[in-house]
């Protein structure tokens, strides 16, 4: 065993949470390396059903250490609420099991407010933000205008730093958006109510990880969202403000020397997309309603109905390449069992020409999907546990996708539960 990463190949919501939950027993440490509370991993296991937003999916395994790396947007309020919810469902969280990097930047009380103000200003041109403050947070991080988690151990300096930042930020809030200023009193209340609660979990996780690596521990890197939402390689500007791609894992985890031996790319057996932006393979009307209903495609964080479509070979192949996936987990195959014939978006048509490559974001709205159909399998596959249990048409669908995207499909998921999986 060695180091691994579990990453999304498409628009997010591919089912990464269930894959990390399944595979954590092969690892000693699980590290979240990017993003914040703006997405949700759904995990169903012996403890119950969970929608995790910030906590790494390794928290359910005894003996596994879960880490929030420096690349994460650490929202103390969200994290503390999530920790309490998880503990209430019988999962103990202690500082030897959950560690927060002292180099995580804090998502501050004004980031969420600025996210809402800007989306409101954009009106019908909005980016479709989840309004969790992620974009204002990462902008400020790169301007060096946030606070590091480790600063909580220096209360005097922290207070002075927050006061400086607040003075600067209130200029934007009041003079640009015409909103009410945030008071220092409310900021200090937030420090007491949330930051103080998570403080016992904050430590030098970089040193811990370097030591662990020296001792031959196996580390799993966990991402949020997918390649098409990557700030540098995704469908800009309809991306997140961080880098979900696997090659960011060494930086965002704090183990800069990490080698990734296995990169498991998670792909859904069809496509979904939350929020705005080009989604070339999108289905509409009754066909879409049916797929959304069978797949229960509503956002884990926002409850918003997800846009749906057939699997998109062009986008998925690009995602596989960006992620450097060494194997694929194909999820939700069971959802397709109602279809008489299964649509697949095999190419795009751009300016009258059929293309196989994923085009530059500005060209995407001009692309039309080329749809082909494969025979449906019309059988409930949710109890299949071996490859040979799958009907031939389902096997053919998986093999077709595998060939088209150019990566071995090692896992076929046929249900949300931990054991609803076929390993090839």
Provide the mask over 389-418, with x wherever binding to ligand GDP is found by CB under 6 A and - wherever it is not. Answer: ------------------------xxxx--
- Which of 8-16, 145-153, 281-289, 383-391 is the region at the interface with ligand GDP (rule: CB under 6 A)? 8-16
Shortest distance (Å) from residue 38 CB to ligand GDP:
11
Q: Is 254 in the site for ligand GDP (CB under 6 A)?
A: no
Spot the catalytic one: 21, 28, 41, 230. Answer: 41
3-state secondary structure the chain: CCCEEEEECCCCCCCHHHHHHHHHHHCCEEEECCECCCCCEEEEECCEEEEECCCCHHHHCCCCEEEECCCEEECHHHHHHHHHHHHHCCCCCCCCCEEEECCCEECCHHHHHHHHHHHHHHHHHCCCCCCCCHHHHHHHHHCCCCCEHHHHHCHHHHHHHHHHHHHHHHHHHHHHCCCCCCCHHHHHHHHHHHHHHHHHHEECHHHHHHHHHHCCCCEEEEEEEEHHHCCCCCCCCCCCCCCCCHHHHHHHHCCCCCCCCEEEEEEECEEEECCCCCCCCCCCHHHHHHHHHHCCCECCCCCCECEEEEEEHHHHHHHHHHHCCCEEEEECHHHHHHCCEEEEEEEEEECCEEECCCCCHHHHHHCEEEEEEEECCCCCCCCCCCHHHCCHHHHHHHHHHHHHHCCCEEEEECCCECCCEEEC
Does 275 engage in binding with ligand GDP (CB under 6 A)?
no
Nearest-angstrom CA–CA distance, 243 and 357: 21
Contact pattern for ligand GDP over residues 212 through 231, marking x by CB under 6 A: --------------------
User: In the bound complex, what is the minimum distance in angstroms from residue 390's beta carbon to ligand GDP?
Assistant: 13
Residues β-bridged to residue 347 = 370
The residue within the footprint of ligand GDP, chosen from 102, 229, 334, 336 (CB under 6 A), is: 334
Which position among 5, 148, 291, 335 is part of the footprint of ligand GDP (CB under 6 A)? 335
C-alpha to C-alpha distance for 348 and 314, rounded to whole angstroms:
7
Give, as ranges, the residues between 338 and 397 that touch ligand GDP (CB under 6 A). none
Q: Which of residues 231-250 bind ligand GDP (CB under 6 A)?
A: none
Is 218 marked active-site? no
Min. distance of Cβ 414 from ligand GDP in angstroms? 5
8 binds ligand GDP, rule: CB under 6 A:
yes
Which C-beta is closer to ligand GDP: that of 146 or that of 239?
A: 239
331 touching ligand GDP, by CB under 6 A: yes
Known catalytic residue: 161? no
Q: Which of 118, 233, 332, 422 binds ligand GDP (CB under 6 A)?
A: 332
Shortest CB 212 distance to ligand GDP, Å: 25
Is the CB of 37 or the CB of 415 nearer to ligand GDP?
Answer: 415
Least distance between ligand GDP and beta carbon 44 (Å): 6
- In the bound complex, what is the minimum distance in angstroms from residue 181's beta carbon to ligand GDP? 36
301 closest CA partner among 82, 143, 122? 82
Site string for ligand GDP, 13-52 (x = CB under 6 A): xxxxxx--------------------xxxx-x--------
Residue whose CB is less far from ligand GDP, 43 or 235: 43
| Number of shown-chain residues binding ligand GDP (CB under 6 A) | 22
Positions that interact with ligand GDP (CB under 6 A): 8, 12-18, 39-42, 44, 300, 331-332, 334-335, 413-416
User: Residues with catalytic annotation?
Assistant: 13, 41
């Amino acid at each position: 065993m060695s180091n691994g990463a579990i990453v999304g190949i498409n628009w997010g919501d591919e089912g990464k949470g269930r894959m990390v939950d399944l595979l954590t027993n092969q690892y000693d440490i699980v590290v979240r390396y990017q993003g914040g509370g703006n997405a949700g991993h759904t995990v169903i296991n012996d403890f119950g059903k969970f929608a995790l937003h910030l906590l790494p999916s390794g928290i359910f395994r005894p003996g596994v250490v879960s880490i929030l790396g420096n690349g994460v947007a650490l929202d103390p309020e969200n994290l503390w609420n999530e920790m309490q919810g998880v503990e209430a469902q019988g999962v103990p969280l202690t500082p030897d099991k959950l560690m927060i990097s002292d180099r995580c930047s804090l998502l501050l009380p004004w980031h969420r407010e600025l996210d809402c103000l800007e989306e409101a200003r954009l009106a019908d041109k909005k980016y479709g933000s989840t309004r969790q403050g992620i974009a204002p947070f990462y902008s400020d991080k790169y301007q060096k205008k946030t606070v590091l988690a480790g600063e909580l151990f220096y209360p005097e300096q922290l207070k002075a730093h927050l006061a400086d930042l607040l003075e600067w930020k209130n200029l934007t809030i009041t003079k640009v958006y015409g909103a009410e200023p945030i008071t220092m009193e409310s900021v200090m209340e937030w420090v007491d109510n949330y930051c103080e609660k998570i403080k016992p979990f904050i430590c030098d996780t970089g040193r811990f990880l370097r030591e662990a690596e020296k001792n031959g521990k196996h580390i799993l890197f966990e991402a949020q969202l997918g390649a098409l939402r990557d700030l540098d390689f995704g469908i800009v500007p309809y991306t997140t403000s961080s880098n979900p791609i696997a090659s960011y894992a060494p930086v965002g985890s704090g183990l800069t020397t990490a080698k990734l031996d296995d990169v498991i790319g998670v792909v859904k057996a069809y496509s979904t997309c939350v929020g705005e932006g080009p989604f070339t393979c999108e289905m509409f009307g009754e066909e879409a309603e049916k797929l959304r209903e069978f797949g229960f495609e509503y956002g884990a964080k926002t409850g918003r109905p997800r846009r749906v479509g057939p699997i998109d070979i062009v986008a998925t192949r690009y995602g596989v390449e960006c992620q450097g996936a060494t194997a694929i987990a194909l999820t939700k195959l069971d959802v397709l069992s109602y279809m008489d014939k299964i649509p697949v978006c095999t190419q795009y048509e751009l300016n009258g020409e059929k293309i196989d490559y994923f085009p530059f974001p500005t060209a995407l709205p001009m692309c039309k999907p080329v749809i082909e159909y494969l025979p449906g399998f019309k059988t409930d596959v949710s109890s299949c546990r071996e490859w040979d249990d799958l009907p031939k048409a389902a096997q053919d669908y998986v093999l077709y996708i595998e060939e088209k995207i150019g990566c071995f499909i090692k896992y076929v998921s046929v249900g949300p539960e931990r054991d609803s999986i076929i390993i090839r």
